[in-house]
Structures are given as C-alpha cells and as structure tokens.
Amino acid sequence: MSKFKKKTQVKQDIPTSSMPDVVFMLLFFFMVTTELRQTSIEVKQNIPKATQLRKLQRKSLVTNLYIGEPIKKDQYGTEPKIQANDVFIEPKDIVLWVNREKDKLSEAERDQLTVSLKVDKEAKRGLIADVETELRKANSRKLLYTTLEDDKKN
Amino acid sequence: MPRSTPEIPNASMADIAFLLLTFFLVTTTIANDRGLSILLPPPPDPNAKQDEVKIQERNMFKIQVNSSDALLVEGEPMDDVSGLKDMIKAFVLNNGRDPNSSDNPEKAIVSYKTDRGTSHARFVQILDIIQAAYYDIYAERASVTNAKFREAASDLSDPQNKEIYDRGREGIPMNISIAEPTKVGG
C-alpha cells in the first residue's frame, strides 16, 4: 500500500508564462495614454551657449517659440522660420498666438506669461527683433533666450 | 514536516524594470528652461509725443555689432571680448570719478545695438557678457558668488533669497537697452 504514497507537497509556483503578456499590456496602456511630446520641432535647434543663466520657476507659465532654419528644406525653404506649437507662423500672427496662450492660464497669472525663445545660433537678429516688437504689442514682456550652460570659465 | 516557503518568481523582474526604465527614458523630455532672461520695454504708445529723451553721452556705454558680427565698443573696434566685462563694470561703478564715464549706477545705461544681419550666437554672447558684468556687481555687493546670486534671483518667494537679491540690486538697476536693429544686412 505504501507504494501509492500520497504526495503532500503542493506545487506553489505562480505561473509566469503570462508575464510577458501582462508587461506588454502595461506598455501598450502607457503608450496609448501618455502624450509623448506636445510638439515635434520642425526647425533646426542648435542652441547657443551662455554663462549667466537664470532658471524659470513656474513651468506652467512658460511658452515656447522655436526659431531656426526649417529641417524640411525642400518644403519650406532655407529662411529661418518661427514655430509655435505645431505650425509655422509669421511675426504678424504673434499677437494672436500670445493671446491664445494667455487664455490657457488663469486670470491672475496672465501677465506673468514668459515666452521662451529657442533660437538657432545661425538665425539672424532681424527676425528675432520682429518677434520682440510683436511681443511688446501683445504686452507679453517677459522674455527668455534659452541657452545651454557654458562650462568654461570666462 | 516544515513547509517550504512560497516564492514569487523574480526572474522577470529585471525585464519589467528595464521596460519601465525605457518607457520613462522615452517619454521624459528634459525641459531646458534656462537662459538669459530680459524684460522687454512696454509697447510704444502711438498717442504719446515723441519727445527726445536726453541722455548724457557720459552715461551711455555703447556696444554695437554689425551684420558681419564685428564689435564696436564706445566707437572703437574690439576683437577680443575678454576685457569687455571689466569695462562695463568700471563704467557702471564709476560714480562720477572719471568725467567721461557714468555719473552714478542709476543713470548708467548699457546701450546694445545690433544689425538685422547679426547672428543670434553673437547676440547672445555679448548679452551674456553684459549681464555677467551686472551679476558680478550684484553678487559682490550681496557677498555671495555669481551663481548663488542668480539662483537666489530665480526664486524670490524665499525671504532669504529676496534679501540677497535686494541687497545686491539696491540702487543699481540693470539698465540694458537693446535697441531696434539697424537694417544693413539680414
């Protein structure tokens, strides 16, 4: 009778064969729900370096303008262009754009909007000055020329 | 008979960890919200009469850059910019000693004029030097380092930072006038 000894040991392993499925499901979930980047930058962005950097405190109050030579040269030419969100705009559209950006903020914070100009090294001053003139008209006077940290001592 | 302790398989733990890591690597954009900060002048009022603001010659420190990125400081061409910062510092802190330099820091204005054809890289380089001169002055007065002063200036909600900031800036406004560019190039 002892030949048919009853097994007391119960198998306790958790089945792992479905683990990849679970992981992939998680991955897909995040891929679908996460907004990766709001904008894909369509202009050249070779940012100049500087030493006297200031950090901006409230990220929600910052809005970006990208200026530089378009990456798709055959489509948009080689003249530096202004990119706001996902589209190229002309300097005359900036007032409208600033007002739309201000509408996104709460009433009390509207005058604290900071425009961060991400400008390519090779862009000319003329275009940037036009942008500044328009920003003044739109009464959005806080401006930041985004630069990288220059490590070498001056 | 002692029961064997149940174990959760952890062979795939590394996979999951790497997956999460990759996920965050892809989705995280390192926001670069650092740079040279300036405040634009208020919009020009079309109704206001265009009365010439008289600024004495001695209170203006003129920096000009042309369309081929060449530099002119107080009417003199300058190739090497390493001495420019000290020149600006001496100008701002002159306090009337040298009759050809500023009366006092409050009246001193650094006038920075570029051309439409000046490259942004050059523009930033010179603006950086001008701001470095001012921040050096502020930092010295507040007896902190330049980097510490700029850090304090970025967050004025902290009373300690505000104190450093006020101590540094009192009586010395950052008068950098960025003029409308001339129209030779660009």
Q: What is the pLDDT of residue B28?
A: 60
| Interchain pair A14, B8: CB under 8 A | yes
Question: Could you say which residues from 17 to 56 on chain B have a Cβ atom under 8 Å away from some Cβ of chain A?
Answer: 19, 23, 26-27, 29, 31-44
Where does the pLDDT of residue B40 fall: very low under 50, low under 70, confident under 90, or very high at 90 and above? confident
Q: What is the pLDDT of residue A30?
A: 66
The Cα A14–Cα A17 span in angstroms is 9
| Interchain pair A136, B7: CB under 8 A | no
Q: What is the pLDDT of residue B31?
A: 61
Q: A124, B119 in Cβ contact below 8 A?
A: yes
Residues of A in contact with B181 (CB under 8 A): 125-126, 129
Q: Of A102-111, B3-12, B121-130, which range is least confident? A: B3-12
The Cα A55–Cα A32 span in angstroms is 32
The Cα B26–Cα B148 span in angstroms is 33
The Cα B24–Cα B123 span in angstroms is 36
Exposed, middle or buried, B45 (CB in 10 Å: 0-12/13-18/19+)? exposed
Q: A54, A144 in Cβ contact below 8 A?
A: yes
> Would the pLDDT of B154 be above 70?
yes
| Interchain pair B32, A148: CB under 8 A | yes
Q: What is the pLDDT of residue A154?
A: 46
Q: What is the pLDDT along chain A (154 residues), one digit of tens a residue?
A: 556 766 667 777 877 777 667 766 776 666 666 655 566 788 888 888 888 888 887 777 888 889 999 888 888 888 888 988 888 888 888 999 999 888 888 888 888 888 989 899 888 888 999 999 889 888 888 888 988 887 765 4
| Domain boundaries of chain B, sorted by first residue | 59-178
- Is B19 in a helix, a strand, or coil? helix
Most confident of A55-59, B129-133, B171-175: B129-133
Q: What is the pLDDT of residue B26?
A: 73
Q: B84, B95 in Cβ contact below 8 A?
A: no
Q: Of A8-12, A75-79, B97-101, B149-153, which range is least confident? A: A8-12
Greater model confidence, A20 or B62: B62
The Cα A154–Cα B58 span in angstroms is 27
Please report, to the nearest 10 degrees, the dihedral formed by the alpha carbons of residues A100, A106, A111, A112 taken in order.
Answer: -110
The tokens of B102 are what? 């500023």
| Domain boundaries of chain A, sorted by first residue | 2-33, 49-149
The Cα B26–Cα B67 span in angstroms is 41
For residue B72, what is the DSSP state? E
Nearest in space to A83 (alpha carbons), one of A93, A75, A73, A74: A93
Q: Complex ipTM, two decimals?
A: 0.76
Q: A148, A48 in Cβ contact below 8 A?
A: yes
Nearest CB to B120: which of A36, A121, A132? A121
Q: What is the pLDDT of residue A21?
A: 73
The Cα B83–Cα B80 span in angstroms is 7
pTM of this prediction?
0.77
Q: What is the pLDDT of residue B29?
A: 59
Can you say whether residue A5 is alpha, beta or left, with left for phi > 0 and alpha for psi between -120 and 50 degrees? beta
A60 and chain B: CB distance < 8 Å anywhere? no
| Interchain pair B37, A8: CB under 8 A | no
The tokens of A149 are what? 């940290």
The Cα B114–Cα B70 span in angstroms is 10
Tell me the fold of A49-149: Nucleotidyltransferase; domain 5 (3.30.420)
Mutating which of B13, B33, B69 best tests the A interface, going by the most A Cβ atoms within 10 A?
B33
The tokens of A98 are what? 């600033």
Q: What is the pLDDT of residue B14?
A: 67
> Would the pLDDT of B103 be above 60?
yes
| Interchain pair B33, A144: CB under 8 A | yes
Residue-averaged pLDDT of chain B? 83
Q: What's the whole-number mean pLDDT along residues B164-181?
A: 86
